[in-house]
Amino acid sequence: MDRYDLMLQLPDLYRSIPFAELQRVLGEICRRAGEDLDVTLAQLWPQTASGWGLELWETAYGIPVDLSKDEAFRRARVISKLRGQGTPTVELIQAVAASFANGQVEVVEHQDTYC
């Protein structure tokens, strides 16, 4: 059963051609609205954002929008920027570098050089 087939919810009186066509069109509009909602909700998180939503994330975090790059690369930059906020500790630097490089990262501290 199609959840957008509105005719299934109406009495037989409404199954004539004008009403059936109206209900078919309304069902299609509901289906499209549901699809639009799914696409819009996906833009709320950088892990699932694409197209226009990804552009909004990049702009919000001051990342230059480069449409020539693939979306996975652009998405990784936004996620890295999100993870990179806070005091720069060894753990934070490792988390940011690992998320951007998609691999193991080793951070070596040289505190004696700067003290």
pLDDT of residue 87: 76
CA distances from 4 to 14, 26, 27, 31, 38 (A): 16, 8, 5, 6, 16
pLDDT tens for each residue of the chain, 115 residues long: 566 677 777 777 777 778 888 888 988 999 999 999 999 999 999 999 999 999 999 999 999 999 999 999 999 999 888 877 777 788 878 877 777 666 677 888 888 887 6
The long-range contacts involving 77-84, CB below 8 angstroms and separated by at least 24 positions, are 78/46, 78/49, 78/54, 79/46, 79/47, 82/46
Q: In whole angstroms, give the CA distance from residue 54 to residue 36.
A: 16
Q: Where are the domains of the chain?
A: 1-42, 45-115
